[in-house]
Amino acid sequence: MRHLGTMLAVEYDPGEGTSYFSNLRDELYQLALRNHVVLRPLGNVVYLLPPTALPTTS
């Protein structure tokens, strides 16, 4: 459970009739995974929760 940290939520316009099952959501998610970033996509809102601390080598 995370108590402290940062959360970024980005809402995008999929340009379709429905946003919850948009192909853009899937494409953004796969792009993020290929770059070792874990996103939480919910409909047309993507949540990013970066780590609260990084090693000094990063």
Tens-place pLDDT, residues 10-50: 888 777 666 677 777 788 888 888 887 878 888 788 888 77
In the chain, domain spans: 19-43
What was the pLDDT predicted at 19? 62
Does residue 55 register a pLDDT over 80?
no
What was the pLDDT predicted at 16? 65
What was the pLDDT predicted at 6? 78
Count how many residues are written for the chain: 58
What was the pLDDT predicted at 49? 75
What was the pLDDT predicted at 17? 63
Q: Residue 24: exposed, middle, or buried by beta-carbon count in 10 A (0-12, 13-18, 19+)? A: middle
3-state helix, strand, coil in the chain (%, to 5): 20, 20, 60
Which whole-number Å values give the CA distances from 19 to 5, 9, 26, 47, in the listed order? 28, 15, 11, 15
